[in-house]
């Protein structure tokens, strides 16, 4: 319909003579549209773990820890080069790796670096849940350029991720205490990658149920 030189559409209003272009966002997400950004981030984050595993297998936990610390910094640099912004999550993770890894090298005690995933997952769970309870959804602010969900979807996804992070923290403590360092490193490097991908697949029904098209962009007709 035309109203005072404006045409109304289901997702907004545009002026006469303009065409509507929706952002590249389908009505419902495909698996690739959700998985590809996740896999890109996973590969960047998996790099330091693989270097840790290789260096540990070659020269033991101390050399592995030093390599892990260096790789964490490189991961931040790679992410910055890709986005041209300082990535908060990789920076925090690298900071924790440097702190706990530094304690391991200082005291020659592997317990500290093995506690780093517990501290990171617990911290992220606390920050996400605390922000959501105070009316701020940090997950939405971080992933909204890639995921287009309604508010209920963002809230459900946040609580699921909080629960998953808590479970990861507890699992890391169990593996750290009950198994050898070799087993712990294999768990951190390979098992966690599989768990993360499985968790992503389990969220796909929620994403489809709460997916919303991206807002349109009005451009003049040529």
Residue 11 tokens, joined: 């997702």
pLDDT at 35: 55
Domain ranges of the chain: 34-212
Tell me: pLDDT of 76 over 50: yes
Taking the CB of residue 89, how many other CB atoms lie within 10 A of it? 15
Least confident of 3-7, 17-21, 74-78, 119-123: 3-7
Q: Which residues, listed in sequence order, are joined to residue 219 by a DSSP beta bridge?
A: 19
Tell me: pLDDT of 183 over 90: yes
pLDDT at 100: 97
Tell me: pLDDT of 41 over 80: no
Tell me: pLDDT of 157 over 80: yes
pLDDT at 193: 87
Task: Report d(CA 56, CA 66) in Å as an integer.
Answer: 10
Residue at token pair 């500290």 = 112
pLDDT at 23: 47
Q: Cβ distance 121 to 168 under 8 Å? A: yes
SS3 label, residue 211:
strand
């Amino acid at each position: 319909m035309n109203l005072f030189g404006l045409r109304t559409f289901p997702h907004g209003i545009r002026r006469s003579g303009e065409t509507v272009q929706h952002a590249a966002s389908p009505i419902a997400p495909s698996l690739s549209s959700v998985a590809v950004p996740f896999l890109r981030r996973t590969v960047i984050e998996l790099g330091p773990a693989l270097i840790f595993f290789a260096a540990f297998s070659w020269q033991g936990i101390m050399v592995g820890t030093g390599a892990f610390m260096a790789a964490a910094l490189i991961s931040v640099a790679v992410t910055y080069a890709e986005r041209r912004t300082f990535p908060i999550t990789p920076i925090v993770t690298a900071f924790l790796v440097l702190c706990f890894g530094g304690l391991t090298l200082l005291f020659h005690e592997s317990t500290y670096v093995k506690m780093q995933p517990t501290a990171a997952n617990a911290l992220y769970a606390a920050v996400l849940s605390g922000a959501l309870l105070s009316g701020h959804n940090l997950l939405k602010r971080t992933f909204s350029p890639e995921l287009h969900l309604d508010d209920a979807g963002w809230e459900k996804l946040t609580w699921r991720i909080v629960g998953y992070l808590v479970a990861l923290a507890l699992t890391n403590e169990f593996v750290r205490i009950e198994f050898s360092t070799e087993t712990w490193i294999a768990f951190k490097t390979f098992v966690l990658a599989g768990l993360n991908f499985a968790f992503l697949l389990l969220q796909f029904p929620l994403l489809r149920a709460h997916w919303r098209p991206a807002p349109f962009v009005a451009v003049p007709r040529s």
